[in-house]
Structure 1
């Protein structure tokens, strides 16, 4: 099965974490074989020369951001490029002396980073974001598989934020799963809310006179924003109460919809799904994680993206959705593994 390409910002961020975390530096072999964004291609043992050229371009990108990558010769064999070690001095990512942040302030700053597209960040802003993440400290190798969140904002967000500030109506197409065409929606946007790592729009649906929650990733095409007309409903005066109620309902749905996954140890899937989950260790070393979710369809796509690193145990509807996605990908790429998927993936997918 073909692997999806890792976004460059995730690969470069993982490289920074690895280089900062190692005080003695890492060889090119150690970096390419272990850092998220390189390791999958390295294990496939194909196009090693292309992978090394990518590594050189990533190092140059870091230098352009003002983050120098230091090189350390092997004391036993100076000049041997295979034993050359790379590292980033922690001083390159240190914040000014005397500047500190509370846990809440760090959380708010990280959320601000998530709200911007990678392309809109200046070099100074990207460097500041990396310094911000370095304040977390104590990261182990497992953290190298976790995305920093750069580039994750949605195209519809700026228009929706403008509508919220101006109290205007927003019109857009909303693509529900298993439907061929998007549905037309006319709403008063009330708040953008990040939940389960995804951006949601909490809005007052002008056609249904009710509060609705929309996943930004499902908004199709451009958002049109305009003032309301005389014959249309007004923006509700109790917007804050409606937002609070919608958030409470999301939280309740998450508590009610339980999921059990088996993940392989020391993998990106374990790093992604472990936070907040109840975990038990199996005799074979794998971990069974139990957690809640609000959207089984979106979760199926996420689980499928980790391939054999994550296996769905419950519920059956999620397991079936993941199997269907994996079979579809396998068929598109001309593989011969579809018939053996169920047996090869144990109790689920």
Structure 2
């Protein structure tokens, strides 16, 4: 079976070019059979299903970036997905006539976009960010002496990016929530990816000979980069495919791990958790949300941080994790905070 060696960034960029160039839109068949990154595998029937799922992910990625992918139904068979056409309207991507920014204004706006949490940006804000790129606002913000992309919470990011660029091995200590001591990991980092508002590194673990995903916030100490030892495995040639499979696994885990929270309407917790969540109830008792997550422990930390504005309802292990965090806070303050009694965990019936 042929494997795609096309980097995902090149594939998505090629898709954008095709969608912008066609004013009348293109069908899925036309896109998959002609666009660089898809066409190489389109003739392989065994890969057709995974290729179509990849196309759906790429479309969603573009929409999350603020690029409006439009769909046009077939006039003869409306609702037929095979005849549906896709396009990107040039008008929707254009900056209003007469609007201009100085270089300094563009840089400040770009830095604000980078610093803002991904989950809080509306579709309109994402489209505005893309228009800033077209005006030149995508200039490297590091040239100003200020880095808004990765804050102090991700000090490992620069070293990992350098290792990716050089194709080197990265070594670091990784702290799992359920372990007392961190583990030494030796990996080829392949891509940094933001998922659920947190930065992850998708990597190939040299010792385990498999792809792994690591949360940057759990990397402790310095990241060391180096060339492989004599006889040690080289960087995988199918990095793009490994990344795609890792993202598939993250999305499956997110779908399979449903959580329920009760949040105070119009609170910071509401703004953080509501986008993309299913609203189960919205009354005087609060807004009940259900959504998927890839990391119960990180979510528990967020819930605990919002205090009474966010209450863990289900599953039990999320409630237990929040209780444990609040208990540690209470213990650290000599039992003076009453943190363990804060209403951030619902009882078994889902009440406060």
TM-score (norm 2): 0.57
**SS at 2:283's partner residue?**
coil
Describe the SS at the equivalent of 2:151: coil
- Verify the 8 A CA contact 2:169 2:226 in the aligned structure 1: yes
Secondary structure of the corresponding residue to residue 96 of structure 1: coil
Give the structure 2 partner of residue 96 of structure 1. Answer: 101
Segment of structure 1 superposing worse, 192-201 or 329-338 = 329-338
Q: Which consecutive unaligned segments of at least 5 residues does structure 1 have?
A: 1-93, 130-148
Q: Which position in structure 1 is the counterpart of 2:156?
A: 156
Matched, 1:222 2:222: yes
**Counterpart Cα distance in 2 of 1:336 and 1:290:** 30
- Residue 303 of structure 1: SS of its match in structure 2? helix
Give the direction of change, closer, same or farther, for the CA distance of 1:304–1:348 in structure 2 (3 Å limit).
farther
Give, in whole Å, the separation in 2 of the partners of 1:288 and 1:309. 12
Are the counterparts in 1 of residues 173 and 221 from structure 2 also a CA contact under 8 Å? yes
2:194 equivalent to 1:194: yes
* SS of alignment partner, residue 252 of structure 1: helix
8 Å Cα contact 1:265/1:285 also seen in 2? no
Other structure's SS at 1:180 match? coil
- Aligned residue runs from structure 1 range 232-247, under 5 A: 232-247=232-247
What is the DSSP-based 3-state SS (H/G/I as helix, E as strand, rest coil) of the residue aligned with 2:322? helix
How many residues are paired up?
227
2:268 alignment counterpart: 268
- Contact 2:170–2:188 (CA under 8 A) maintained in structure 1: yes
Alignment CA distance shift 1:152-1:276 (3 Å): farther
Per-residue deviation at 1:228? Answer: 1.2
- Report the RMSD for the aligned CA atoms in angstroms: 3.4
| Counterpart residue number, 1:167 | 167
For residues 278 and 222 of structure 2, the distance between their equivalents in structure 1, rounded to whole angstroms, comes to 40
Residue deviations 1:285-330 (CA, integer Å, cap 9, x gap): 5100111000001110110000111111110110111112112212
For residues 225-256 of structure 1, give each alpha carbon's deviation from its aligned partner in whole angstroms, at most 9, with x where no partner exists. Answer: 01112221011110000001101110111011
Change (3 A) 1:338 1:158: closer
Contact 1:177 1:297 in 2 (8 A): yes
| 1:283 and 2:283 are equivalent in the alignment | yes
CA distance in 2, matches of 1:238, 1:311: 43
| TM-score, reference length from structure 1 | 0.58
In the TM superposition, residue 332 of structure 1 has moved relative to its aligned partner by 2.1
Unaligned runs of 5+ in 2: 1-98, 107-123
CA deviations over 1:154-200 (Å, ceiling 9, x no partner): 11111111111111111111111121211011111111111001111
Distance 1:228 1:216, change over 3 A: same
